Chain A
């Protein structure tokens, strides 16, 4: 194993793990809160879920802007072309979902008649009028996108396990915090 692996920048690494952490909170929270009986806790959890979602969206904007201006390290040549292609596809969808999932949640919330107010302070505009049927449809869209995200995260993690323990290459190291930036 090379010890002089080219890594993502510290900023990209920080954004990656922060977004990952927030998604790992927001996803089960979303599953859990939906079935709760109405209570102050439910209202709080919904708000927290939405605040996390908006935060993920904002961080994702930062991530994309950073990526556009800071070229990520190329995949090692040891990885076959087809695998590289698959990796780009999965990463592309993951990036897209960092936007699509929060946006679908925001639109769903508007259609259901609940404005999104970030941290209870900053109101986001409602892009949609209140519309019950549309709200139900967007709920399905939001859920479906989330399950798609879950599927991709599973693939993402499976790939890194494969690279770490089967291929024994350094692709994971590129995104691990703590190391020296090449």
Chain B
């Protein structure tokens, strides 16, 4: 019992040293990262991507409680796979990019699902509407380089993406799976 304090202190120090040697991934490599989506029109599977977005990530595998992620997408940078589509979807009925130029995801929590699998909770704001989303994410670290891969499916009408005649789900399906691939480099953690 005499050494209990010392042992606790030792364990405490060990824990801190572990943390300080862990890597914190926070330098997002935008040029290597992608935000893509799938959609279906008349049963035809199509996919697209957003060419311009910025991301902020702070992720230390040992400190999930403080993990943070934020993704801001410039909706006008959309590439739907057809020029016709690109012109249309920035318009009022779809993204209304003039009034709502950005869509954002802001994390509210991160849960470990074991191994390199996580579940990210967050708020997705598109076209002035904010809803909770949950995204399974994997994290693959290779030295200083970390890669997040994940995705979630939104229902476009929840965000009024496609109004008026476009609310017809027989033509363009409601479900839009979104996938992200975010490359983040690490800086040695300092705390």
Complex CA distance for A123 and B44, rounded to whole angstroms: 8
Tell me whether B172 and A115 are in contact (CB under 8 A): no
Q: Does B82 contact A (CB under 8 A)?
A: yes
Count the B residues whose beta carbon is within 8 Å of the partner chain — how many? 18
With A38-B88, A43-B172, A112-B82: A117-B43 Cβ-Cβ less than 8 Å: yes
Tell me whether A40 and B45 are in contact (CB under 8 A): no
B66-83 vs A, Cβ < 8 Å mask (1 yes, 0 no)? 000000000000000110
Q: Does A121 contact B (CB under 8 A)?
A: yes
Tell me whether A43 and B165 are in contact (CB under 8 A): no
A168 to chain B, nearest CB (A): 49
Minimum CB distance partner of A114 in chain B: B44
Count the A residues whose beta carbon is within 8 Å of the partner chain — how many? 19
B162 to chain A, nearest CB (A): 9
Contacts of A46 in B (CB 8 A): 42
Tell me whether B171 and A121 are in contact (CB under 8 A): no
Most chain A CB within a 10 A radius of its CB, from B41, B44, B88, B166: B44
With A38-B88, A40-B165, A113-B81: A120-B171 Cβ-Cβ less than 8 Å: no
Tell me whether A115 and B168 are in contact (CB under 8 A): no
Contacts of A121 in B (CB 8 A): 43
Majority-rule SS of A interface residues: loop
B95 to chain A, nearest CB (A): 14
Instruction: For chain A, residues 118 to 174, give those with C-beta under 8 angstroms from any C-beta of chain B.
Output: 119-121, 123, 130
Contacts of B42 in A (CB 8 A): 43-44, 46-47, 117, 120
Q: Does B84 contact A (CB under 8 A)?
A: yes
B165 to chain A, nearest CB (A): 5
Q: Could you list 10 A-B pairs, sorted by A, with CB under 8 Å?
A: A38-B84, A38-B85, A38-B87, A38-B88, A40-B165, A43-B171, A47-B43, A117-B42, A120-B43, A121-B43
Residue positions of A touching B, CB distance < 8 A? 38-41, 43-44, 46-47, 112-117, 119-121, 123, 130
